[in-house]
Amino acid sequence: MSTRRSVEVEVRELHKRYGAVVAIESLNLRIGPGELVSLLGPSGCGKTTTLRAIAGLVQPDAGEVMVGRRVLNDVPVHRRGFGLVAQNYSLFPHMNVIENVTFGLRMRRLPRAEIARRAREALAMVQLTQIEDRYPSQLSGGQQQRVALARCLVVEPDVLLLDEPLGALDKKLREAMQVELRSLQRQIGITTIFVTHDQVEALTLSDRIAVMHQGRLQQVGTPQEIYESPRNRFVADFIGVCNFLDCRVAGRDQSTVLLRLDDHALLPAAIPPPASVPPEGTRVVVAVRPEKLIIEAQTAAPERALHARLENLVYVGTAVHYHLRTKTGARLVGYRQNNAALPPHLYPGAEVQISWEPDAARLLE
Amino acid sequence: MTAWMRRNGAALLLRLYCGAVLLFLSLPIIVAVGVAFGADRIARFPPAGFSLRWFAAALTEQTFVGALYTSLQLAALTTLGSLLLGLPAAVALGRRAFPGRAGLETLLLSPLTMPGVLFGISMLFFLGASGLGLTWWGLLAAHVVIATPYLLRTTLAVYRGLDPGLEEAALVLGASPLQAFRHVTLPLLRPGLAAGGLFAFLTSFDNVPVSIFLTTAHNNTLPVTIMSYLVNQDFDATVGAISAIQVAIVLVLLYLLDRIYGVARLTSPGG
């Protein structure tokens, strides 16, 4: 099973609407051979529709789904050679585990001996043994998930489509399955599209993440790119926690732009490479992650710091969250790792100064 | 009164109530069947003495035996016919949305609400006017029309309760639409088909209002024969005996169905 040739999947100008509701609009996405790409977004963003269009379960209004150089639009679902695991697993309730796992092979009318051998291999791959005779209703959620995965991988699909496959598992099991799924996917080298609304899951599993909102792709990039350099407010807000500050452009030097906050503080921000710097005086929004805030009683350059009041302090174990309010009333949150004693100058009610490294802040489109 | 007494008093009342309902439902059958075991020449309940002579009389009476055979054959073919019509109809109406679907569904289920007598007369006129005449096939067609809604309704309910993801999973796994239907959808519809088929059989097997207009001397059904026997002759225990046989056939059928599917499986798919 590990000697397969991985394929490339491409979606071009995909459109789908249901009545007046736009489900997908102008979606373009290329998934490289053996790559795991997550479609991430809130419910109703079009991620599942996109996955179903790729599987052939939804007929797009326009656009193409391609595997390698082949256009699949007119290929019926059962001839596409894909694997799909849905959130509720859709195991056949009237078949036991072995009948479920061998279903695809039996439909292909393969020789009995080969069916038995491949089923054994698939079950071993997902670490399931001794439960061949049980029915889906007699299995735990985790076991059902493994059976669904084995049933799908046993037919050696070209592309693996996963629609929130871990959504029904409890947190601990879900995290264990994420790691297992990822190593299995790498080992087989199968091109995989993973639909999820869970940003942590997407960050953990993906080679690249495609963030979707209202039927449109917002940004496609590696987990690091998506987290560190969100393109717009939606992406910054949806992935992790983020502070947004309204400010004006005050000038620039090379790769950073200087921003004026609160009419006095001057702070730097990095510009995403393709974006040009707006002219001086333009109103812009800057995004800074909470862990990037440097909170001090007194900085070296107070004119280049944001003055705020520490309103509240929340101890969450691995970190401390500082809730801050600037002079103009903007609320910010800063995280500080619990790797040292709590700084004595950071107490509720304290006047503090906030700054950040130039590349910690991003200008949003 | 203590809480214990109140609780047990309520439980006792419930038991009495349920018992009364069961008795009310089964009493007519008990009387009819009981009469058949009597030794008297006149039908009476409770029966005086015990004999099987009325069963012997009923089973040697060619009118009854012929009618019983006709009814069984008719009910079996009606069940088959309603399966052949009801299953495709259920699949077509189940999930796909198309213009006029609601109207078509109402039309197909309408025999449930139409009075049998009205339908019987209409069918009589239709068979006469169209020149098809009063044949055994006309009777079968009429029975299929009134039995199919039962099958359609139970099958439709099961089909709509099925996870559409199951068929999709089968397709993605490489099953052709026909294979997906045969190996996934059809087995999961079986409880609905079995329950609906049973209703279809029973609907045909004890139908009077439709059959009475469409039967002839050559193809009299058992219920129609019993009724005309009661109208033309006095009530004697032969009728009780043939009724008892009819009840027995139904009970055997229910028993077999229960052994094959289990009562629970008739109502829940996949269990």
B150-180 pLDDT tens trace? 999 999 999 999 999 999 999 999 999 999 9
- Residues B37 and B101 placed together within one structural domain of the fold: no
Q: Report the pLDDT averaged over residues B60-77.
A: 91
Which neighbouring-strand residues pair with A220? A210
Q: How much is the pLDDT for A1?
A: 45
B267 has a pLDDT exceeding 60: no
Interface of B with A in 147-176 (CB under 8 A): 163, 165-166, 168-176
A2 has a pLDDT exceeding 50: no
B264 has a pLDDT exceeding 70: no
Whether B261 and chain A come into contact, CB under 8 Å, resolves to no
* B185 to chain A: closest CA residue: A92
| Distance from C-alpha of A59 to C-alpha of A326, rounded to nearest angstrom | 51
- Residues B60 and B12 placed together within one structural domain of the fold: no
Q: List CB contacts of A187: < 8 A, sequence separation 6 or more.
A: A2
- Residues B73 and B112 placed together within one structural domain of the fold: yes
Cross-chain Cβ contact A77/B171 below 8 Å:
yes
Q: List CB contacts of B247: < 8 A, sequence separation 6 or more.
A: B29, B32, B33
Q: Predicted confidence band at B98 (pLDDT cuts at 50, 70, 90)?
A: confident
Q: How much is the pLDDT for B123?
A: 92
Q: Report yes or no: A173 and A2 within 8 Å, Cβ to Cβ.
A: no
| Report for A257-271, A277-291, A297-311, B147-161: range of highest mean pLDDT | B147-161
B265 has a pLDDT exceeding 70: no
SS3 label, residue A278: coil
Q: Report the pLDDT averaged over residues B183-209.
A: 92
Cross-chain Cβ contact A57/B271 below 8 Å:
no
Q: Report the pLDDT averaged over residues B205-221.
A: 88
| Distance from C-alpha of B105 to C-alpha of B90, rounded to nearest angstrom | 9
**Maximum distance among all Cα pairs of chain B, rounded to whole angstroms:** 75
DSSP annotation of A79: G
- Identity of the residue in A80, A90, A161 whose CB atom sits nearest the CB atom of B165: A90
B263 has a pLDDT exceeding 60: no
| Domain membership of residue B107 as a residue range | 52-267
Q: Predicted confidence band at B271 (pLDDT cuts at 50, 70, 90)?
A: very low
| Report for A63-77, A348-362, B244-258: range of highest mean pLDDT | A63-77
Q: List CB contacts of B148: < 8 A, sequence separation 6 or more.
A: B81, B82, B85, B86, B89, B108, B111, B200
Measuring CA to CA, how many Å separate A97 from each of A16, A103, A128, A280, B168? 36, 10, 10, 66, 18
Cross-chain Cβ contact B270/A107 below 8 Å:
no
* B174 to chain A: closest CA residue: A78
Amino acid identity for residue A40 in this structure: L
Question: What is the percent of chain B where pLDDT is above 70?
Answer: 94
Q: Could you give the number of structural domains in chain B?
A: 2
Which neighbouring-strand residues pair with A269? A257
| Distance from C-alpha of B257 to C-alpha of B271, rounded to nearest angstrom | 16
Task: Return the structure tokens found at B131.
Answer: 């020149």
Among residues B51, B67, B88, which one ends one of the domains? B51
Cross-chain Cβ contact B168/A57 below 8 Å:
yes
Whether A55 and chain B come into contact, CB under 8 Å, resolves to yes
Cross-chain Cβ contact A107/B175 below 8 Å:
yes
| Distance from C-alpha of A28 to C-alpha of A23, rounded to nearest angstrom | 14
**Residue predicted with more confidence, B3 or A355:** A355
Q: Predicted confidence band at B3 (pLDDT cuts at 50, 70, 90)?
A: confident
**Average per-residue pLDDT in chain B?**
87
Residue with tokens 């359609």: B152
- Residues B44 and B153 placed together within one structural domain of the fold: no
Q: Report yes or no: B143 and B207 within 8 Å, Cβ to Cβ.
A: yes
Burial class (CB in 10 A: 0-12, 13-18, 19+), A147: buried
- Residues B60 and B185 placed together within one structural domain of the fold: yes
Cross-chain Cβ contact B163/A155 below 8 Å:
no
User: Nearest CA to CA, how far is A100 from chain B (Å)?
Assistant: 10
B76 has a pLDDT exceeding 90: yes
Cross-chain Cβ contact B170/A103 below 8 Å:
yes
Q: Report yes or no: A265 and A307 within 8 Å, Cβ to Cβ.
A: yes
Q: Report the pLDDT averaged over residues A181-198.
A: 93
- Identity of the residue in A57, A90, A107 whose CB atom sits nearest the CB atom of B174: A107
Question: What is the percent of chain A where pLDDT is above 90?
Answer: 58
- Residues B91 and B46 placed together within one structural domain of the fold: no
User: Nearest CA to CA, how far is B166 from chain A (Å)?
Assistant: 5
Q: Report yes or no: A157 and A82 within 8 Å, Cβ to Cβ.
A: yes
B68 has a pLDDT exceeding 80: yes
Instruction: Select from B172, B183, B186 the residue whose CB has the most chain A CBs within 10 Å, as the one to mutate to test that interface.
Output: B172
Cross-chain Cβ contact B271/A137 below 8 Å:
yes
Measuring CA to CA, how many Å separate B114 from each of A345, A352, B89, B122? 85, 82, 20, 11
**Residue predicted with more confidence, A16 or B61:** A16
Q: Report yes or no: A334 and A297 within 8 Å, Cβ to Cβ.
A: no
Cross-chain Cβ contact A90/B169 below 8 Å:
yes
Q: List CB contacts of A322: < 8 A, sequence separation 6 or more.
A: A293, A295, A310, A312, A313, A333, A334, A335, A336, A346
Half-sphere exposure of B194 (CA within 13 A, CB side): 23
Q: Report yes or no: A333 and A322 within 8 Å, Cβ to Cβ.
A: yes
Q: How much is the pLDDT for B56?
A: 86
Whether A137 and chain B come into contact, CB under 8 Å, resolves to yes
For residue range B229-256, what is the model confidence (pLDDT) as tens digits? Answer: 888 876 777 888 888 888 898 888 888 8
Sheet containing A21-31: give its strands across: A21-31, A9-18, A62-67, A70-71
User: Nearest CA to CA, how far is B251 from chain A (Å)?
Assistant: 28
Measuring CA to CA, how many Å separate A102 from each of A118, A121, A211, A290? 8, 11, 35, 50
- Residues B45 and B90 placed together within one structural domain of the fold: no
**Low-confidence winner among A129-138, B74-83, B84-93 (lowest mean pLDDT):** A129-138
Instruction: Select from B95, B166, B168, B173 the residue whose CB has the most chain A CBs within 10 Å, as the one to mutate to test that interface.
Output: B173
Q: How much is the pLDDT for B269?
A: 46
Q: How much is the pLDDT for A172?
A: 87
User: Nearest CA to CA, how far is B180 from chain A (Å)?
Assistant: 9
Q: How much is the pLDDT for B257?
A: 80
| Distance from C-alpha of A272 to C-alpha of B151, rounded to nearest angstrom | 65
Q: Report the pLDDT averaged over residues B106-125.
A: 91
3-class DSSP string for A210-273: EEEECCEEEEEECHHHHHHCCCCHHHHHHCCCCEEEEEEEEEEECCEEEEEECCCEEEEEECCC
Whether A84 and chain B come into contact, CB under 8 Å, resolves to yes
Q: Report the pLDDT averaged over residues B64-69.
A: 90
- Residues B121 and B239 placed together within one structural domain of the fold: yes
Query: How many residue pairs bridge chain A and chain B with CB atoms within 8 Å of each other?
Result: 72
Q: How much is the pLDDT for A363?
A: 84
**Residue predicted with more confidence, A74 or B268:** A74
Task: Return the structure tokens found at B145.
Answer: 């029309």
Cross-chain Cβ contact B165/A78 below 8 Å:
no
Give the CATH number of the domain where residue B110 resides: 1.10.3720.10
Q: Predicted confidence band at B47 (pLDDT cuts at 50, 70, 90)?
A: confident
- Residues of chain A found within 8 Å of residue B179, distances taken between Cβ atoms: 107
- Residues B28 and B156 placed together within one structural domain of the fold: no
User: Nearest CA to CA, how far is B151 from chain A (Å)?
Assistant: 21
Q: How much is the pLDDT for B1?
A: 57
Measuring CA to CA, how many Å separate A306 from each of A295, A302, A356, B56, B208? 9, 8, 10, 107, 91
| Distance from C-alpha of A165 to C-alpha of A38, rounded to nearest angstrom | 12
Residues, chain B: 271
| Distance from C-alpha of A51 to C-alpha of B223, rounded to nearest angstrom | 58
For residue range A107-143, what is the model confidence (pLDDT) as tens digits? Answer: 999 999 999 999 999 999 888 888 889 999 999 988 9
Amino acid identity for residue B89 in this structure: A
| Distance from C-alpha of A289 to C-alpha of A227, rounded to nearest angstrom | 9
- Residues B39 and B96 placed together within one structural domain of the fold: no
- Residues B100 and B162 placed together within one structural domain of the fold: yes
Q: Report the pLDDT averaged over residues A92-105.
A: 95
- Residues B38 and B162 placed together within one structural domain of the fold: no
Cross-chain Cβ contact B173/A137 below 8 Å:
no
Whether A26 and chain B come into contact, CB under 8 Å, resolves to no
Residues, chain A: 365
Cis peptide before A111 (omega within 30 of 0): no
Cross-chain Cβ contact A92/B166 below 8 Å:
yes
**Average per-residue pLDDT in chain A?**
89
Q: How much is the pLDDT for A237?
A: 92
- Residues of chain A found within 8 Å of residue B173, distances taken between Cβ atoms: 78, 83, 103-104, 107, 151-152, 155
A23 has a pLDDT exceeding 80: yes
**Residue predicted with more confidence, A5 or B215:** B215
B260 has a pLDDT exceeding 80: no
Name the H helices within chain A.
47-55, 97-101, 103-107, 112-125, 141-153, 171-188, 199-205, 223-228, 233-238
Q: Report yes or no: B182 and B215 within 8 Å, Cβ to Cβ.
A: no
3-class DSSP string for A290-308: HHHCEEECCCCCHHHCEEE
Pairing relationship of beta strands A159-163 and A191-196 according to DSSP bridges: parallel
What interface predicted TM-score (ipTM) does this complex get?
0.84
Q: Report the pLDDT averaged over residues A222-243.
A: 92
Where does residue A105 fall: left (phi above 0), alpha (psi -120 to 50 degrees), or beta otherwise? Answer: alpha
For residue range A208-225, what is the model confidence (pLDDT) as tens digits? Answer: 999 999 999 999 999 999
